[in-house]
Structure 1
Amino acid sequence: MIGLLASFFLSFIATLLIIRFQSLHSHLSADSDLSGPQKFHQVSVPRIGGVSIAIGIFASTLSRLQSDDGLTTEALLMICAVPAFAIGLTEDLTKIVSARTRLAFTAIAALLACIYLGAQINRLDIPGVDYLLSISLIAIIFTVFAITGLANAYNIIDGFNGLASMVGAITLMGLAYVSFAVGDSIMMYLSLVMAASILGFFLWNYPRGLIFLGDGGAYLIGFWIAVVTVMLVARHESISPWFALLINAYPIVETLFTIYRRKFRQGKSPGHPDGIHLHTLIYRRILNPICHAHKDDLFTANAKTSPYLWALTLFAIAPALLWWDSNVIQITFLLIFMVSYVWLYKRIVTFRTPGWMRP
């Protein structure tokens, strides 16, 4: 409990100090580009909220750095996360780090987690595939790809106040629940301590957007969730391996659909930013026109966007938690979620938004 409180309060205070003294660092930390396809703020805002979350995590780990067997799981995970967080923070400060470089450093972090934490995907409960995953090298390559992909997915969905951070917090609470159900106190602690750190940042980020998560924060949250998810499934045979996909369905499906849309429909690089993500469409075609009609400002539309995606996240997480030990149910709901996502996207992009989505 002390670790959770420490992570929350230090993250909260660190975020406050970053905002309070932004005049001292805004020349480096501020997001001053207001014209990009994914930019929806009107003033320059610090984009180093990940620093606050990292401070919260570090504080909670100080009292649990070592055990009789050496470094604790908490300390090892924090160390493994350094490359992913550091390269994201470097991009936040310099704005010149390429997507390929960020992915490479995140892959290094994932490899460290595979080696030092035993975070490996070694089963999908599919004959043939499980045999391949029993080969250590193949399992490591597959795991590095999966962890790197989910970390990058959180960077993709980080588009509006409170979106990526609350999706991460909800997911972590789900992981904590399943960890409790199988009696894994370490995984439960790792989930809750990150959720507490995120909450300390979230209270300043939502709804007013006084600070942004930044690439460092998005990669840190996504990497942490990916590793905890992989470790939880690997440590407990009773948990369906498809649970890992369903509980992370929203960022995963958003990323896969984005790659498909950019590469095969638009003929562009998947790393090229655009303004037609699902969260962007909800903002532009549902909330922004209504807020203008009611003489609200764009900031209000920004704040109203994220709850739509929180609800979508819960649509996948709820069945993941209720039937975490059933492959059939996990796969069924994963398919339902994917079909629902594509149907919803198509309805909005073709100006046929369902009536129940309009406030």
Structure 2
Amino acid sequence: MIYLILFLISFLLTYFIKNYMIKKSLVATINERSSHTVPTPHGGGIALSITWFIGLFYLYFIGEIQQSLFYALLFGAVISIVSFFDDIYDLSPKLRLIVQAIVSVGGLYFLGGFETLTFGIFDIQNQILANIFAFLLIIWFINLYNFLDGINGYAGSEAVFLSLAGFILFGGNHFLVLAVAVLGFLYWNWNRAKIFMGDVGSTLLGYNIAIFTIYYANQEATNFWIWIILFGVYWFDATLTLIRRKLNKEKLSQAHKKHAYQRLTQAGWSHYKVTNYSIGLNLGLFIIVYFIGNIFVALILALIVLALSMKFVDTKKVFE
């Protein structure tokens, strides 16, 4: 019953925010990075964020979430609030990075740090190195989720997939809370989007995925790679695109439309088709994780699948 209530809260909040934004003419402008051609209201992430934190508090008060995870996830409210103002006032990149750094440190503090990074044949257990790595990971996940929030249903469907995959593999009602919070928004963002998520939603989702990755890796070191595989569609695209642009001697701070999902839309694919393609890839990655017991064999296979998918995108639209 609580999940239905949370879904309705997210659904109705998104509806009212959409209407308010339209009434106030607060719509996303079309620029060189946009994959949209029609000005559309943004800020739908406010609804999923509010719903998410309501659900978090509910789980905390009934004792269904560990205290360390609760506080680490709750600290995400900081980046959600700052991103809300960024959506409105376009804050400076330096200020955003400072906030991301503060949130990353806070999240790690509540989790008790990052214990071990395993590579199968050897482990990194040095707390300084492990936590520097985790700090950078959180910042990277926050930003790459924001980078890849660009077409209808793409960021929302990724969050729902990760939530459901997390619930199946690890249990934990926090995954169901996140899933229904996003689904209420996704109804209005799917196929022909009536509202966008905005940074207020995308940065929070990226932060949450990073916290889940570290939290479950602290329970079992190889869980780190499970989350890396599950989140592969996003980090592989964002990381490879960054490397390619660097090799092209491009200014990395400059806006671009070279991510895989952007190139597919340029090749004539609809947003709906691209999002469904990503869902199919995600299901493939989940099957790999679920059925292959050796996580490092699963990782290699997942990387092959991701590399082949990128080769396919290159055949549709060459990376220039």
TM-score relative to the length of structure 1: 0.81
Of 33, 53, 59, the residue aligned with 1:37 is 33
CA separation of 1:25 and 1:71: change in aligned 2, threshold 3 A: farther
Q: Which amino acid aligns with 2:5?
A: A
What secondary structure is seen at the aligned counterpart in 2 of 1:91?
helix
Deviation of residue 155 (structure 1)? 1.1
User: Given the superposition, is the C-alpha separation of residues 7 and 78 from structure 1 closer, same or farther in structure 2, using an over 3 Å criterion?
Assistant: farther
Cα pair 1:121 1:142 within 8 Å, conserved:
no
The secondary structure found in structure 2 opposite 1:190 is helix
Deviation at residue 66 of structure 1 after TM alignment: 5.0
Match for residue 6 of structure 1? 5
1:232-281: CA deviation from partner (whole Å, max 9, x where unpaired) = 222135x443212111111110111121122112x123332211221112
The one-character-per-residue Cα deviations of 1:200-241 (angstroms, maximum 9, x if unpaired) are 10001112211101111111111112211221222135x443
| SS of equivalent to 1:305 | helix
Partner SS for 1:207: coil
Deviation of 1:5 (Å):
2.8
* Paired position in structure 2 for 1:279: 261
In structure 2, runs of 5+ residues without a counterpart are none
Q: For residues 26 and 117 of structure 1, do their structure 2 counterparts lie closer, same or farther at Cα, with a shift above 3 Å needed?
A: farther
2:89 paired with 1:94: yes
Q: Within 5 Å, give how 1:27-66 maps onto structure 2.
A: 27=26, 30-31=27-28, 33-43=29-39, 45-65=40-60
**Contact 1:153/1:252 (8 A) holds in 2:** yes
Aligned to 2:152: 161
Alignment of 1:187-336 (within 5 A): 188-236=172-220, 239-265=222-248, 267-287=249-269, 301-323=270-292, 325-336=293-304
Structure 1 residue 67: Cα displacement: 7.8
Q: Which residue identity lines up with residue 277 of structure 2 in the other structure? A: Y
CA RMSD in angstroms comes to 2.4
State how far apart, in whole Å, the 1-side matches of 2:152 and 2:115 are.
33
Percent identity, aligned pairs only, is 21
SS at match of 1:51: helix
Equivalents in 1 of 2:92, 2:287: separation in Å?
37
TM-score by length of 2: 0.90
Alpha-carbon separation, structure 1, partners of 2:82 and 2:252: 20
Separation of aligned partners in 2, 1:119 and 1:212:
34
Amino acid corresponding to residue 308 of structure 1 in structure 2? Y
In the alignment, which residue of structure 1 is the partner of 2:167?
Answer: 176
Which residue identity does 1:138 align to in structure 2?
L
Give yes or no for contact 1:49–1:212 (8 Å, CA) kept in 2. Answer: yes
Q: CA deviation at 1:338?
A: 3.6
Give SS of 2:224's match: coil
Deviation at 1:15, TM superposition (A): 0.3
- Measured against aligned partners, the alpha-carbon deviations of 1:123-152 in whole angstroms (never above 9, x if no partner) come to 223445x2xx32222211111111221221
Which amino acid counterpart does residue 42 of structure 1 have in structure 2? V
- 1:38 counterpart SS class: coil
State the partner residue of 2:111: 117
Partner of 1:185: none
Deviations 1:4-55 (A, max 9, x none): 333322111110111122245434xx21x21323241313x22111110111
Q: State the alpha-carbon separation in 1 of the partners of residues 66 and 121 from structure 2.
A: 36
* Residue 95 to residue 22, structure 1, CA distance change in 2 (3 Å): same
Q: Is the 8 A contact 1:85 1:217 kept in 2?
A: yes
Instruction: Find the counterpart in structure 2 of residue 296 from structure 1.
Output: none
In the superposition, relative to structure 1, how do residues 257 and 58 fare at CA in structure 2: closer, same or farther (>3 Å)?
same
Contact 1:121 1:143 in 2 (8 A): no
Q: Give the letter aligned to residue 10 of structure 1.
A: I
- For residues 335 and 303 of structure 1, the distance between their equivalents in structure 2, rounded to whole angstroms, comes to 25
CA distance in 2, matches of 1:305, 1:327: 28
Counterpart of 1:95 in structure 2: which amino acid?
D
> What amino acid does structure 2 have at the position aligned with 1:209?
A
- Provide the rounded CA distance (Å) in 1 between the counterparts of 2:291 and 2:214: 19
The amino acid of 1:208's aligned partner reads R
Q: Is the 8 A contact 1:283 1:305 kept in 2?
A: yes
The one-letter code sitting in structure 2 at the alignment partner of 1:241 is F
| Aligned length in residues | 318
Contact 2:69–2:111 (CA under 8 A) maintained in structure 1: no
